[in-house]
Structures are given as C-alpha cells and as structure tokens.
Structure 1
Amino acid sequence: MPPNVLSVTTSSSHNFSKSSVPSIKLITAWGIEGDCHAGETVQHRSRLHIRPPPANLRQVHLIPIEILHKVSTALSAEQKTQLFQPGALGQNITTEGVDLLSLGVGTELRFVGAPTGDTGAEAEEAIVVLQGVRNPCPQIDRFQSGLKERFLVRDADRQIVGRLAGVMATVKQGGIIRPGMGIMVVKPAAHVPLGPV
C-alpha cells in the first residue's frame, strides 16, 4: 500500500481526543486552522509555563495506523474500538504505509493528489517537516488505563529506548489535506533520529 492519509481530525479546545473532519487546512509556520495547538510558540498546556515560550515544534501530530495495530494486540474489543477512532489519541493525521518513527529530523512529508473540489492556492501541495516523536503523557492512561506503557519501548533495565505515540511536525507549506491523499517522503541529506519534543 503506497503511503496515504487515512483520517484527519482537529479540535479548537484542549480535549485529549480530536474530532474527525472531511479536511484540514494547514497554514505555513502556524499549524492547522482552528486547532488548539496551532501557533508560532508551543500551545500544549504542559508547556505554557515556559518563559520565554519555545517555538512550536508540535503544530501537527501524526500517527501511523500500523502502530495502533501493534499496541492494540492485548486490548479488549471495546478498547480497540476506542483506540481506532480517528483522533482518539489527539493525532491530527492518521497515516498508512509509512514508518514515520524510522524517519529523521527534517524529513518532509508532502501530501499529494489534488483534494476534490479545491482550486487555486488551497489546492497546493501541503508539506510538513518532522521535528520529533511525541512523548507519551499521563493523559493516555486517563483515556485508557495502562495504555501509556504500551507506547513505550524499554530495554532489559527498564530504561525507555523508544516512543511509539507518533511524530510531531511543523508546517513548511500550507494546503488542504483529506483522507485518501498520498504521502511523498523526502529525506534530508543526513539522518538524525527523531527524539522527543
């Protein structure tokens, strides 16, 4: 399956989960129009106390559907149904067919395939740039008890060596993204592994 977009979601308020929508509009260097995490500086509530406010490297949150399949293996049918709802973990874009976690800092994801019904500037190819991985937060356990640990990879000494809760990106070029659009991956010259942001 070529890399593609399965779902897009947004929320104007700081709820944990986001709502499924037919399309999202990305705004260059800002984020998703109308989303509570859009802005030049960080908008996540856990970081609003930092002064001066840091640059917003978390404008767009993406999760591969393959990760959701991986972490859901021991969940009940009801828990799986909740987990697979678009935007359940606060992600804006659920992808299929691309291992986002293996990509490096600065990798561009270009969303291709003209969105149906859009013309002019809004039909331009939207581009996001990967900045890091999402650090699983306690809110995941409030969504489903014990789920946070399933998004962590630990070594034999119980030290965290990997995080599976998706990737964070900034918007390099605005545009419209809809489910069904393709994703073209453009890697930087040097590979720098994604760390938590």
Structure 2
Amino acid sequence: MSTIKAICLSEKKGTQKHTVPAARLVEDWGLEGDAHAGHWHRQVSLLSFEKIEAFRTKGADVAFGAFGENLVVEGYDFRSLPVGTRFQCGDALLEMTQIGKECHTHCAIYQVMGECIMPHEGVFAKVLKGGDIRVGDELVMLPPDPAVRRAAVVTLSDKGAKGERADESGPVLAKLLTEAGYEVVEELLIPDEQSRIQMELIRLSDGRQCHLVLTTGGTGFSPRDVTPEATLAVATRNAPGIAEAIRAYSMTITPRAMLSRGASVIRNGTLIVNLPGSPKAAREGAEYILPALGHGLDILRGTAGECALAFSREKK
C-alpha cells in the first residue's frame, strides 16, 4: 500500500514548505493555502519517500518540504511512471503532468550537497477533483487514459517574442489539433535561438511527454532560421518522410515550397514536426499530415495493452 508520509505547504513563494497533518486539494488549483497553486499544470508536486531517505543516507539533514515538494509518498517511484498517470486519495483525484523540472537557481541543499533530487526525481500533477487528504492516507495509482494524445505548439519568431508581431500561426495549429482530438497542453512563443528551442523541445518531449510537438517558423534560409538544426539536435531517431510529404504537397501549391528546410524527427516517445511560419502554409501542412499521424503515434507510444502491462509491473 502506498501512503502519504507528509503534506507540505508554503504560504509565500520563496519560503521553505512546512508540514501540516491535513489539507484540502482544490479542483484545478492545488493545495489550499499553498503559494504555488494556480491555474497551471504544476499545481501539486510529489516526491517519493524512498528517494528522500536515500538522499539522507548521503549525510543530508533534510526535513520534509525542503525540496519544495507538496506530497511525500511512500511506495511509488514517480520518475518511472508515465505522464497521465492518475492518483486517487479519497474523493480527490490527481493527474501527473510533468516529470522533473529545470533548476534555474541552485537551492541551499545543492550548495551543501552538490545535488538536489527534486529536479530529476520530483513530478507534478494537476487536481482533477478536489477533496480532503491527511497524512497516512492511501494514494491509489490509476493508469493513464490510453485515448488521450497530448500535443504542444511552438512558434519561433524573434519579433513575436518581443511583442512586435502577433502570433497567428500558433493559434491556427492549436485549433486544428484540438479539432483532431488532441489535448494541447502548451502553446509557446519563443525567439529564434537554437539553444532555447532545443531546451523547450527536450522539456516538452521528456518532461511533459507530449505525443506530438508542432513547430511553426524558422525553417527558411535566413541566418536566424535555425528550427531544423535545433530539431535534429534533439532527435533520437529520424522520421524524414513527414517533412518530405509536407514539401511535396506544398509544391503543388507553390514552387517556393522547395525553399522550406523543415525537419521531422522522433525524440524518445515524441514526434516533432516543423511547419512553415506563415499561417496559411502552417495550416495547409498540418491539415495534410494530421489524418495520417494517429497510426504512427500509436505505434510510437504503445497500445493500451502495453500501458496496462507497464502499470501492472509497477504495482508489483
């Protein structure tokens, strides 16, 4: 049986969390009274009790809440679970939304120990249904919904990131994805900087475990057009047929399609596809490929049966 070992809150951001014997989970918000709750995907943070204990054996004197975690739970290796895994505690229901997080500023624990486990062992969840929880309550794991396909849209534009130009392509793609049955978990607008593009593609693939990431912009001949280079740099496998199909289809509309350098790749369990920057070309490309992608994504991420098998192994 997996149980809640500690519940931790902080009323103000920038202050260490402290333990409480009980708390209330608020739907689409987080823990009542916690400064980090809100209408976003990282409403509740979870950390395995066993990971904290292992860290303590290295000589670290850390209390519950020191890593910024909301819930310390015994019995689960959260890092090994897929995004989308749900957890039931009484009436409350959580859904895991992200694995790990980037550490922008090294905390006091890192300064002393040279490492901190939260960035790579902690996970985040959103509250699907609210309810009261207490220390000692059982946290029951439920498998992800195999029908859910998560997607993200990344717009690359220097002027757009500066607020000098409205992003029209990103919303077009998000709407098409939603209409095709995808859950669009993030829409980003970032500058044409290769390191930043790579960082976001890695986070969306590994941390958010999106099934599909569509980018728009940065695929031309300009020196600042580095989206294909960033995409290829994060790939674990190539999937060139999709980009080739987009170009071939676009050539039937305009010969300038031959100037597009967009790539399509796989990073672990995520398919990343580059689309042109113009709203019209982005729409045309997405409308052409989306009907055929479902089968490939099912193969890439596994069937419901395989998800259930992984879930049963974790419980053992």
Same fold, TM exceeding 0.5?
yes
- Offset, 1:134: 2.6
* Structure 1 residue 3 corresponds to structure 2 residue 2: yes
SS of the counterpart of 1:145?
helix
In the superposition, relative to structure 1, how do residues 96 and 140 fare at CA in structure 2: closer, same or farther (>3 Å)?
farther
In the superposition, relative to structure 1, how do residues 106 and 95 fare at CA in structure 2: closer, same or farther (>3 Å)?
same
* Structure 1 residue 21 corresponds to structure 2 residue 20: yes
Which contiguous aligned blocks of 4+ residues in structure 1 show a shift greater than 6 angstroms?
none
In the superposition, relative to structure 1, how do residues 150 and 96 fare at CA in structure 2: closer, same or farther (>3 Å)?
same
CA distance in 2, matches of 1:60, 1:167: 8
Matching residue within 68, 74, 86 for 2:64: 86
Partner of 2:44: 60
Report the count of equivalent residues: 153
SS of the counterpart of 2:79?
helix
* Structure 1 residue 100 corresponds to structure 2 residue 78: yes
CA distance in 2, matches of 1:146, 1:138: 17
- Offset, 1:188: 1.5
More helix as a share of residues:
2
In the superposition, relative to structure 1, how do residues 139 and 20 fare at CA in structure 2: closer, same or farther (>3 Å)?
farther
- Offset, 1:88: 1.2
Deviations 1:78-112 (A, max 9, x none): x32xx1x1211111110001111111111101114
In the superposition, relative to structure 1, how do residues 91 and 128 fare at CA in structure 2: closer, same or farther (>3 Å)?
same
Identity %: 29
* Structure 1 residue 135 corresponds to structure 2 residue 134: no
| One-letter code aligned to 1:151 | I
CA distance in 1, matches of 2:99, 2:50: 16
Partner of 1:115: none
CA distance in 2, matches of 1:86, 1:146: 17
CA distance in 1, matches of 2:28, 2:114: 30
Partner of 1:49: none
Contact between 2:84 and 2:145, CA under 8 Å: does it hold in 1?
Answer: no
In the superposition, relative to structure 1, how do residues 103 and 87 fare at CA in structure 2: closer, same or farther (>3 Å)?
same
In the superposition, relative to structure 1, how do residues 189 and 33 fare at CA in structure 2: closer, same or farther (>3 Å)?
closer
Deviations 1:15-43 (A, max 9, x none): 35201112111111111111111111xxx
| One-letter code aligned to 1:129 | E
Matching residue within 170, 180, 183 for 2:136: 180
CA distance in 1, matches of 2:125, 2:54: 22
**Taking structure 2 as the reference length, what is the TM-score of the superposition?**
0.44
SS of the counterpart of 2:115?
helix
Contact between 1:24 and 1:176, CA under 8 Å: does it hold in 2?
Answer: yes
Question: If you compute each CA radius of gyration, which structure gives the higher value, 1 or 2?
Answer: 2
Deviations 1:40-77 (A, max 9, x none): 1xxxxxxxxxxxxxxx11100010111112233322xx
Deviations 1:102-157 (A, max 9, x none): 11111101114xxxxxxxxxxxx1111001123252555323415463539xxxxx
CA distance in 2, matches of 1:66, 1:110: 20
> What pairs with 1:29-40 in structure 2 (closer than 5 Å)?
29-40=28-39
